[in-house]
């Protein structure tokens, strides 16, 4: 009996080991790690880590900044980001970028600014050698707005390109009726719904990259290294999921001779401690995330730099739960934002003075956030209504906040015994910000605040159900125009979680979307943001403008756009 | 024995079905959606639900899961690797193998080092060596895994540069050292404590006294008689802990950047990636059931007094 049992056990063990080894055969686990690749002695391998495994790198369905960064290295749009001589921060190795023609040789715009005609370059080819044609954009854009694709950015062309709204939102038209057509292989015509001053910039966006129908259609695995066909500077040569993505130059790219790294290895990790350790150990050359408490020492060692980033961290103040605008205004101005950015976030963030993030420009090139006054949109209207209030100091803001709050209580608009629930998704930083805001509201206004953290999926579900008093969110601009923010708070917008509604505001946004860029449109947008922070308003409380931190050593000639993308295709080893 | 094993396999299949049903209803009971992002709209979520069949009644979805599983189709990822077959994620991307490798090696280390340490402590009861081992094992079970992992990372990799920070695919000996140390240290200490306690208990039994009276050497008494009987609690502990080591490898896999299943198991729940949650739960449940069966059979080998079936009574 013992022998039989021993035999069975031995068989079980063999089975287990066999199961392990048989699964192992096609797995990449036997592949050498990137650092062990037999690279030539003078090969430049750039090791970077900007995030964990991307959900997807499918051009039509990506929505994350990291996924878009990988796409920006593999594909090239009609327009592209090209490095300038300007530095975004004090890092001499990092350069700002500007949008210039990419796969397009040139473009023309009709007099009414409704029709854009792009002429493609003659020397553009896919990585398999086939020429890039105008139809590749037609296919890709139709695929994006097709409801069956269920793309995160399916709404991106709504109200901009002709019929996009009817196709994606209403489902009343076929994707083939989108306002984009190939006049011939090298000429692409795009018709808009109305003039759009930021349309050219959109033509560099990752979700609007061209795609080859014969590569993508019917192949769910078209993004795998063995299937993918690209038209940009780099192509994936290897992808070990949850470990790294390796890219090598695409020799069919028209500027292949001038590319930098012989290999770019994007390591995929979400552990800040582990990422920093790898950087400190010399295994990574460039990282984007690390523990907050290390920022100071990394800055002093000359490793860490802080770039501008077009994004706003803000709180929704639910207009149903906090119906008095005076209470919402009091809450908005009684928070010490300087304390939050200096002691909580510590990443060089800028205290917010409006909803539209700093870095968004008006038609004259002025920073929209400070276009009307240095005080910013939150305080412009209040400073006119309460001229005696000193809104340049925190003490002065607190004084006015208390006055507004007391007025609301005296008028019976607010019961001071009400407890407000402040929801945030689980994160040490969000928690610390919530505690700082709650502390200020309690000490300055005497409000009752309850903090509740929830994991992400539960939290976002609650946002959609408007089940909160206060709730946080961050919004990174999709393109450089105030509309990317202001549109969010229009009545009925899916992101208007605080249920704000003002016909004047809605009319101003609709008006601005219907006319071309210029002084008149600027005035409408400035007026709209003033309405947002005027009587009846304050549905959101901007806290700070984001920054983008990174650590880099041993590399130069990197590119950056304040939309959050880093570009490594022309990077070089630093001397 | 064969009948017993077949019965256990039948029960295992039924258990897996029940686990599938419970997991399915629990994961649908918690709020959220795999398609929720900071920029997702109800329109997008509705379209994505329709695309992946999440708009169908729950009972239909469950039926689809069961039918597909019977065909060997574990579904496709909705979020973590959108559109990728879950079977590829778990098996062909090497996640399962990596976690199994880590888990089994850690378990082997726990047994190979833990049991002798427990024997040595029991054999030298009351001496300085016993005292030292007791302190060491108590400290070992008290130190959280992430603390040990971080300490090892900071000292051996970042300061001394003798080991890589990124263990990745565990392709060379060096990349195993810190993950295995971090994962197995707790279990080494726990097994040593368990062995010592049960060994001391066995040493006081009558048959040991009889052996001593017969003049059997102490070493022989410990190795042949006491150790064998003292292993029962250790084996009981090792069965369920095998699956625990794999699902509990989240911290070690994150710290040493190993793309294993343990890390994925936690992340898929947070992302509401329903097919991945379902598949990882079923795979790990099957592993627990299998290990319990192995433990039951191992009992019989270690202690012939234990019977597995009624027929043998």
pLDDT tens, A490-547? 998 888 999 999 999 999 999 998 888 889 999 999 999 999 999 999 999 999 999 9
Which residues have C-beta within 8 Å of that of residue A361, sequence separation ≥ 6?
A: A367, A368, A480
* Half-sphere exposure in the Cβ direction for A264 (13 Å, CA): 28
**Distance (Å) from the C-alpha of residue B210 to the closest C-alpha of chain A?**
26
Residue B51: list chain A partners with CB under 8 A: 148, 150
Is residue B264 domain-resident? no
Shared-domain flag, residues B148 and B286: no
Q: What is the DSSP string of A37-62?
A: S---TT--EEEEEEES--S---TTT-
With CB atoms and an 8 Å threshold, state whether A457 touches B270. Answer: yes
Q: H/E element holding A420?
A: strand A419-425
Of the candidates B36, B157, B164, the beta carbon closest to that of A460 is on B36
> Beta partners for A566?
A560
- Residue at B268 is within a domain: no
pLDDT of residue A284: 95
Give the per-residue pLDDT at B51.
85
**Strand-pair category, A304-317 with A470-476:** antiparallel
Closest CA to B82 of B34, B28, B20: B34
Q: Given the structure tokens 């290294």, which residue do they identify?
A: A225
The pLDDT value recorded for residue A41 is 60
Q: Judged by CB atoms within 8 Å, which residues 24-53 of B form the interface with A?
A: 30-44, 47-48, 50-51
- Number of A/B CB contacts below 8 angstroms equals 185
pLDDT reading at B306 higher than 80: no
What number is the average pLDDT over the span A58-70? Answer: 92
Number of domains making up chain B: 2
- Of the residues B9, B259, B274, the best mutation for testing chain A's interface (the one with the most A CB atoms within 10 Å of its CB) is B259
pLDDT band at B123 (very low <50, low <70, confident <90, very high): confident
- Nearest neighbour of B43 by CB, restricted to A12, A283, A494: A494
- Do B126 and B89 share a domain, yes or no? no
CB–CB contact B5 A267 (8 Å)? no
- State the pLDDT at residue A3: 42
- Interface residue B162 vs chain A (CB under 8 A): no
CA distance A156 to A484: 10
Are B189 and B298 in the same domain? Answer: no
Tokens of B63: 């039926």
Same domain, B107 and B86: no
Is residue A159's pLDDT more than 70?
Answer: yes
Range of the domain at B289: 1-94+274-313
Residue B264, pLDDT above cutoff 90: no
- Looking at the structure, tell me whether residues B279 and B150 fall in a common domain: no
Mean pLDDT over residues A481-495, rounded? 91
Q: Which segments of A318-402 are extended strands (E)?
A: 350-351
Is there a domain that residue B160 lies in? yes
Among B216, B233, B259, the domain boundary falls at: B259
Question: Who among A12, A243, A273 is closest to B255 (CB)?
Answer: A273
Query: 463-482 in A: which are within 8 Å (CB) of B?
Result: 464, 473-475
Residues B82 and B108 in one domain: no
pLDDT value at B312 more than 60: no
Q: Specify whether B168 is located in the same domain as B285.
A: no
- In a domain, residue B182? The reply is yes
SS3 per residue for A486-539? HHHHCCCCCCCCCCCCCHHHHHHHHHHHHCCCCHHHHHHHHHHHHHHCCCCCCC
Reduce the DSSP state of residue B185 to 3 states and report it. Answer: helix
CB A381 within 8 A of CB A530: yes
In a domain, B35, yes or no: yes
Interface of B with A in 201-230 (CB under 8 A): none
pLDDT at B1: 66
A25 touches chain B (CB under 8 A): no
- Nearest Cβ partner for B38 among A154, A455, A473: A473
Pick from A568, A50, A67: nearest CA to A275: A50
Query: Which residues, 6 or more positions from B254, have their beta carbon under 8 angstroms from its beta carbon?
Result: A269, A270, A271, A274, B263
**Confidence class for position B307, pLDDT limits 50, 70, 90:** low
Q: Which of A5, A53, A474 sits opposite B1 (nearest CB)?
A: A5
Residue percentage of chain A with pLDDT more than 90:
73
Chain A residues touching B270 at Cβ < 8 A: 455-457
Contact A183, A134 (CB under 8 A): yes
Residue A280 contacts by C-beta under 8 Å, 6 or more apart in sequence? B158
- Whether residue B258 has pLDDT greater than 70: yes
Does residue B136 sit in the same domain as residue B238?
yes
The whole-angstrom distance between A384's CA and the closest CA on chain B is: 35
Does residue B174 belong to any structural domain of this protein?
yes
* Confidence at residue A458, expressed as pLDDT on a 0 to 100 scale: 83
Q: Across residues B268-294, what is the average pLDDT?
A: 87
The model's pLDDT over B44-57, given as tens digits with 9 standing for 90+, comes to 788 888 888 899 99
Task: Give the CA count within 13 Å in the CB-facing half-sphere of A500.
Answer: 28
Q: Is the pLDDT of residue B313 over 60?
A: no
- Out of B232, B259, B286, pick the residue that ends a domain: B259
CA dist A472 → A157, A430, A454, A475 (Å): 27, 8, 12, 10
pLDDT for B191 beyond 50: yes
Question: Which A residues, 319 through 358, put their C-beta within 8 Å of a C-beta on chain B?
Answer: none
Between residues 41 and 60 of chain A, which touch chain B (CB distance below 8 Å)? Answer: 53, 55-56, 58
How close A86 gets to chain B, by Cα (Å)? 31
The alpha carbon of B163 is separated from its chain's Cα centroid by a whole number of angstroms, namely: 25
Domain of B235, CATH number, reads: 1.10.3720.10
- CB contact under 8 Å between A63 and B153, yes or no, is no
- Same domain for B154 and B168, yes or no, is yes
Q: pLDDT at position A571, please?
A: 97
CA distances from A112 to A31, A80, A104, A193 (A): 57, 25, 21, 11
Question: pTM of the predicted model, to two decimals?
Answer: 0.82
The pLDDT value recorded for residue A443 is 95
**Among A62-66, A119-123, A457-461, B262-266, the range of highest mean pLDDT:** A119-123
pLDDT of residue A80: 97
Domain-embedded: residue B269:
no
Pick A241 or A29 by higher pLDDT.
Answer: A241
- B266 domain-assigned: no
Closest CA to A197 of A361, A356, A77, A308: A361
Tell me what pLDDT residue A507 has: 94
Give the C-alpha distances (Å, rounded to integers) separating A494 from A170, A355, A500: 15, 17, 11
Half-sphere exposure in the Cβ direction for A549 (13 Å, CA): 19
**Residues on chain A touching B89 (C-beta within 8 angstroms):** 241
Closest by CA to A449, choosing from A491, A421, A468, is: A421
- B158:A281 CB<8 A: yes
C-beta neighbour count of B3 within 10 angstroms: 10
CB contact set of A447 (below 8 Å; sequence gap of 6+): A331, A405, A416, A418, A420, A441
B305 and B203, same domain (yes or no): no
At residue A40, the pLDDT reads 57
Point out which residues pair with A475 in neighbouring strands: A312
> Do B307 and B185 share a domain, yes or no?
no
Sign of the C-alpha dihedral computed for residues B42, B47, B52 and B56 taken in this order: positive
Percent of chain B at pLDDT > 70 equals: 94
pLDDT at A34 over 90: no
Q: Average pLDDT, stretch B62-78?
A: 91
Residues 104-143 in A contacting B (C-alpha not used; CB under 8 Å): none
Q: DSSP characters for A386-415?
A: -TTS-TTSHHHHHHHHHHHHHHHHHTTS--
Q: Minimal CA–CA distance to A331: which of A342, A319, A341?
A: A319
Whole-number mean pLDDT of chain B?
A: 85
Which 3 state secondary structure label does DSSP give A563?
A: coil
Pair (B225, B287) in one structural domain? no
Q: What is the pLDDT of residue A521?
A: 93
User: B121 pLDDT exceeds 50?
Assistant: yes
Q: Is A33 on the interface with B (CB under 8 A)?
A: yes
Considering only residues B43 and A409, tell me which one the structure prediction assigns the higher pLDDT: A409
pLDDT of residue A27: 34
Average pLDDT in the B234-243 region? 76
Task: Quickly state the pLDDT bin for A347 (edges 50, 70, 90).
Answer: confident
């Amino acid at each position: 009996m013992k022998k039989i049992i021993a035999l069975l056990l031995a068989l079980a063990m063999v089975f287990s080991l066999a199961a392990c080894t048989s699964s192992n055969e096609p797995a990449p686990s036997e592949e050498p790690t990137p650092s062990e690749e037999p690279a030539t002695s003078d090969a430049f391998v750039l090791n970077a880590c900007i995030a964990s495994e991307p959900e997807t790198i499918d051009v039509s369905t990506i929505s994350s900044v990291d996924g878009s960064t990988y796409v920006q290295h593999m594909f090239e749009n009609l327009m592209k980001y090209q490095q300038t001589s300007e530095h975004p921060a004090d890092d001499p190795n990092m350069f700002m970028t500007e949008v210039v023609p990419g796969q397009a040789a040139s473009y023309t715009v009709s007099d009414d600014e409704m029709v854009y005609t792009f002429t493609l370059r003659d020397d553009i080819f896919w990585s398999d050698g086939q020429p890039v044609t105008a139809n590749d954009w037609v296919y890709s854009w139709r695929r994006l707005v097709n409801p069956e694709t269920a793309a995160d950015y399916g709404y991106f062309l709504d109200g901009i390109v002709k019929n996009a709204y009817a196709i994606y939102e209403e489902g009343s038209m076929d994707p083939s009726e989108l306002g984009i057509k190939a006049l011939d292989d090298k000429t692409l015509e795009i018709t808009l719904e109305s003039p759009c001053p930021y349309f050219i910039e959109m033509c560099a966006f990752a979700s609007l990259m061209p795609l080859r129908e014969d590569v993508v259609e019917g192949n769910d695995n078209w993004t795998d290294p063995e299937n993918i066909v690209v038209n940009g500077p780099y192509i994936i040569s290897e992808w070990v999921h949850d470990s790294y993505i390796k890219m090598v130059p695409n020799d069919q790219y028209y500027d292949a001779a001038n590319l930098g790294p012989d290999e770019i290895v994007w390591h995929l990790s979400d552990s800040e401690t582990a990422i920093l350790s790898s950087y400190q150990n010399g295994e990574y050359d460039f990282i984007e995330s690390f523990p907050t408490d290390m920022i100071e020492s990394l800055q002093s060692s000359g490793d860490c730099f802080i770039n501008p980033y077009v994004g706003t961290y803000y709180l929704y103040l639910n207009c149903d739960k906090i119906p008095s605008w005076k209470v919402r205004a009091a809450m908005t101005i009684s928070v010490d934002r300087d304390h939050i950015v200096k002691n909580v976030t510590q990443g060089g963030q800028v205290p917010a003075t409006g909803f539209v993030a700093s870095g968004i420009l008006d038609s004259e090139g002025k920073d929209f956030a400070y276009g009307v006054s240095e005080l910013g949109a939150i305080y412009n209207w209040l400073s006119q209504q309460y001229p005696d209030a000193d809104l340049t100091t925190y003490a002065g803001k607190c004084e006015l906040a208390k006055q507004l709050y007391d007025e609301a209580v005296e008028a019976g608009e607010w019961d001071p015994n009400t407890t407000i629930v402040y929801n945030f998704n689980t994160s040490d930083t969000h928690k610390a910000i919530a505690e700082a805001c709650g502390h200020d509201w309690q000490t300055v206004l005497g409000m009752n605040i309850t903090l509740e953290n929830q994991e992400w999926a539960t939290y976002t579900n609650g946002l959609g159900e408007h089940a909160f008093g206060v709730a946080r969110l961050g919004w990174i601009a999709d393109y450089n125009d105030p509309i990317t923010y202001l549109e969010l708070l229009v009545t009925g917008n899916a992101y208007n979680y605080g249920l704000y509604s003002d016909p004047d505001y809605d009319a101003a946004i609709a008006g601005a979307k219907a006319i071309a860029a210029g002084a008149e449109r600027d005035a409408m947008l400035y007026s709209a943001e003033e309405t947002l922070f005027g009587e009846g308003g304050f549905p959101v409380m901007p806290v700070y403008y984001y920054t983008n931190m990174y650590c880099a050593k041993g590399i130069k000639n990197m590119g950056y756009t304040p939309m959050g993308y880093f570009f490594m295709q022309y990077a070089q080893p630093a001397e | 024995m064969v009948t017993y094993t077949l019965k256990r396999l039948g029960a295992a299949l039924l258990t897996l079905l029940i686990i599938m049903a419970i997991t399915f209803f629990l994961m649908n009971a918690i709020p959220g959606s795999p398609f929720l992002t900071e920029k997702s709209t109800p329109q997008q979520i509705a379209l994505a639900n329709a695309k992946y069949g999440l708009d169908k009644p729950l009972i239909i979805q469950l039926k689809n899961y069961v039918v597909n599983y019977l065909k060997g189709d574990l579904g496709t990822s909705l979020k973590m690797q959108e559109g990728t077959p879950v079977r590829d994620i778990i098996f062909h991307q090497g996640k399962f193998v990596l976690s199994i490798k880590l888990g089994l090696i850690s378990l082997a280390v726990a047994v190979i080092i833990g049991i002798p340490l427990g024997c040595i402590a029991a054999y030298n009861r009351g001496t300085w060596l016993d005292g030292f081992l007791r302190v060491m094992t108590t400290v070992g079970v008290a130190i959280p895994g992430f603390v040990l992992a971080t300490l090892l990372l900071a000292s051996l990799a970042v300061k001394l540069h003798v080991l890589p920070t990124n263990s990745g695919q565990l392709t060379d000996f060096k990349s195993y050292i810190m993950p295995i140390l971090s994962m197995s240290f707790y279990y080494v200490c726990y097994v040593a404590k368990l062995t010592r306690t049960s060994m001391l208990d066995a040493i006081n039994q009558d048959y040991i006294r009889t052996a001593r009276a017969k003049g059997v050497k102490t070493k022989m008494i410990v190795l042949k008689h006491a150790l064998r009987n003292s292993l029962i609690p250790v084996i009981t502990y090792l069965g369920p802990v095998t699956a625990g080591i794999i699902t509990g490898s989240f911290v070690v896999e994150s710290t040493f950047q190993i793309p294993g299943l343990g890390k994925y198991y936690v992340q898929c729940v947070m992302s509401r990636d329903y097919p991945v949650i379902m598949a990882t739960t079923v795979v790990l449940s099957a592993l627990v059931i299998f290990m319990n069966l192995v433990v039951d059979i191992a009992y019989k080998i270690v202690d012939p007094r234990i019977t597995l079936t009624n027929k043998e009574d």
